[in-house]
């Protein structure tokens, strides 16, 4: 069946970041002094396990970034028409999760809806009971069979996942060389993750592992789809934050005088405005502009993606000030170093001093700040979507899931699983990012470099 590739703006920015990361990795591999801190990161078992978890999130996000439209059934002699629905490779891989929608809420692993409905019994009398789900546990003839079936499928899927983990461990052990402690930690984490993924995949084919939401969508599918939005907010925002903070911070610290005064005034004013109010005002203005130019977007997905990209732009404009302060202070210190003074005495141009001496010596601060800010940006999206000024309501994200789930927390019986799923996935993502950021910070710490050189 034919299809048409669709490249959203966020897709292009992700590909740009991947290309930049590839070039950076190639450059680092050619310079031993740049490679040394990353070797310290590789010796940390916590960093490698966190990177393994982040790699799983990244894999889901990248699969969800490859978009296309399927061709509709074509009449004889008619023009080929494509569906207005934009799908991704991830959507096709988990097609049962996407298409097996129920009528409304159902608990995790449930066989019936969460609320009673009026329905006829075998004698034709109308009774109040819990209707069976259309897809969840449909292969079972009796509710009493569920527990044994869940256990069996979990053991089979977990066993297959364990075999895959052992095979990957064997193959990686022959090609990669890692410290013994790190090797054991990564191997144990790999076996645990592959076993868990195998069990979930086996169960998700016939059950709603995390239940369903108000309109019957699988919560596991919604949680996995939210990963891409969180990753885009946490990474694409750096395309705005990094240039502003790097060039303005370095310029303020090196040139000083009126340049320093103007830049300080700008980021002091921005820092004085409550960030949530500033972001909310800019998002509302952006939303009004998009609504007034709806003819620019021929697909609903493109309109929602435009709001996501604009949100990244807004977050970048409002979050560069802290990194700019750090870079200004570091540049003021570097400017007084002997080799900078010598370069100025020999008439080396300011542009060459900035590019050859200043910027390479502040990149460790940039890297540490960007890695640590990733978690804050993911949480910021959840908070902004919760208050209604985040991503488009039609786009799946952790914030929109929490915003939808909060309305059901006060009902009786309480619908808790949607909120718990969003919280759990976001907790794992942010925790892994924070642990990896701590390892990167320790590896790039100049004091640690001096200690190692002394020993």
Quickly list DSSP for 195-257.
Answer: HHHHHHHHHHTTS-TT-B-TT--BHHHHHHHHHHHHHHHHHHTHHHHHHHHHHHHHHHHHH-H
The two tokens of residue 168 are 């990957």
pLDDT band at 425 (very low <50, low <70, confident <90, very high): very high
Tell me how far apart the alpha carbons of residues 391 and 377 are, in angstroms, rounded to a whole number.
13
* Structure confidence at residue 79 (pLDDT): 73
- Sketch out the chain's domains with CATH numbers: 225-454 (1.10.3720.10)
Q: Are strands 67-70 and 117-120 parallel, antiparallel or unpaired?
A: unpaired
CB 254 within 8 A of CB 358: yes
Query: Quick one: how far is CA 211 from the chain centroid?
Result: 22
Q: What is residue 354's predicted lDDT score, i.e. its pLDDT?
A: 84
pLDDT computed for residue 76 by the predictor: 58
The sign of the dihedral angle between the CA atoms of 313, 309, 60, 382 is positive
H or E element, residue 210: none
Residue 26 — φ and ψ, nearest 5°?
-65, -40
**What is the tens place of the pLDDT at every residue in 226-253?**
999 989 998 888 888 888 888 899 989 8
The whole-number pLDDT of residue 219 equals: 93
Average pLDDT over every residue of 151-162: 92
What are the residues facing 71 on neighbouring strands? 82
Cβ atoms 64, 232 nearer than 8 A: no
Q: Which of 100-104, 379-383, 417-421 has the weakest average pLDDT?
A: 379-383
Whether pTM > 0.75 for this model: the answer is yes
pLDDT given for residue 446 in this prediction: 59
Token pair of 132, please?
């069976």
Rounded to whole angstroms, the Cα distance separating 65 from 57 reads: 12
Query: What does the pLDDT look like over 294-343, one tens digit per residue?
Result: 788 888 888 888 888 888 888 888 888 888 998 998 898 888 888 888 88
CA distance 393 to 391: 6
The mean per-residue pLDDT over the stretch 86-104 comes to 90
Alpha-carbon gap, residue 220 to 384, rounded angstroms: 22
In 3D space, the residue among 226, 165, 186, 172 whose CA is nearest the CA of residue 51 turns out to be 186
The predicted pLDDT at position 163 comes to 92
How far apart are alpha carbons 383 and 211 in whole angstroms? 24
**pLDDT at residue 455 is higher than 50:** no
Residues written for the chain: 455
Reduce the DSSP state of residue 82 to 3 states and report it: strand
The pLDDT > 90 percentage for the chain reads: 19
Cis peptide before 134 (omega within 30 of 0): no
359-386 helix and 300-318 helix, angle to the nearest 10 degrees: 130
Contact between 397 and 390 (Cβ < 8 Å) = yes
Write down the pLDDT at residue 174: 61
Per-residue pLDDT of 179-221, as tens digits, reads 455 677 888 888 999 999 999 999 999 999 999 988 889 999 9
Query: Please, where are the H alpha helices in 45-113?
Result: 45-63, 89-93, 95-99
What DSSP character marks residue 285? H
């Amino acid at each position: 069946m034919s299809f048409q590739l669709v490249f959203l703006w966020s897709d292009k920015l992700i590909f740009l970041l991947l290309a930049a990361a590839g070039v950076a990795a190639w450059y680092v591999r050619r310079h031993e002094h740049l490679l040394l801190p990353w070797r310290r990161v590789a010796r940390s078992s916590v960093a490698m396990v966190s990177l393994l978890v982040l790699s799983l999130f990244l894999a889901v996000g990248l699969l969800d970034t490859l978009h296309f439209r399927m061709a509709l059934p074509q009449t004889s002699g008619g023009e080929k028409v494509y569906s207005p629905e934009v799908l991704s490779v991830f959507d096709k891989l988990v097609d049962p999760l996407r298409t097996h929608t129920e009528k409304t809420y159902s608990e995790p692993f449930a066989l019936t809806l969460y609320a009673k409905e009026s329905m006829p019994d075998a004698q034709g009398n109308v009774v109040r009971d819990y209707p069976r789900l259309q897809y969840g546990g449909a292969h079972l003839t009796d509710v009493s069979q569920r527990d044994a079936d869940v256990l069996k499928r979990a053991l089979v899927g977990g066993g297959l996942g364990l075999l895959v983990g052992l095979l990957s461990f064997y193959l990686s052990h022959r090609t990669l060389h890692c410290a013994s402690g790190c090797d054991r930690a990564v191997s144990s984490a790999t076996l645990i993750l592959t076993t868990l993924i195998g069990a979930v995949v086996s169960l998700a084919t016939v059950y709603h592992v995390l239940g369903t939401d108000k309109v019957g969508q699988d919560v596991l599918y919604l949680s996995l789809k939210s990963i891409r939005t969180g990753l885009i907010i946490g990474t694409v925002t750096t395309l705005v934050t990094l240039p502003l903070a790097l060039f303005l911070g370095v310029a303020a610290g090196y040139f000083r005088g009126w340049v320093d005064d103007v830049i300080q005034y700008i980021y002091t004013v921005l820092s004085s405005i409550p960030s949530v109010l500033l972001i909310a005002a800019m998002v509302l203005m952006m939303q009004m502009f998009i609504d007034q130019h709806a003819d620019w977007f021929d697909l609903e997905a493109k309109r929602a993606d435009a709001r996501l990209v604009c949100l990244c732009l807004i977050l970048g404009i409002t979050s560069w000030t802290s990194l700019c302060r750090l870079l200004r202070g570091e540049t003021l210190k570097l400017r007084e170093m002997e080799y900078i003074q010598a370069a100025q005495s020999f008439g080396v141009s300011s542009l060459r001093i900035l590019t050859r001496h200043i910027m390479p010596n502040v990149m460790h601060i940039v890297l540490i700040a960007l890695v640590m800010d990733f978690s804050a940006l993911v949480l910021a999206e959840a908070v902004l979507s919760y208050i209604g000024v985040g991503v488009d309501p039609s786009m799946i994200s952790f914030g929109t899931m929490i915003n939808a789930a909060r309305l059901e927390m006060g009902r009786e019986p309480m619908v808790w699983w949607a909120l718990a799923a969003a919280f759990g996935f976001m907790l794992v993502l942010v925790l892994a990012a924070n642990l990896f950021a701590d390892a990167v910070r320790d590896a790039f710490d100049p004091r640690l470099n001096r200690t190692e050189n002394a020993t």
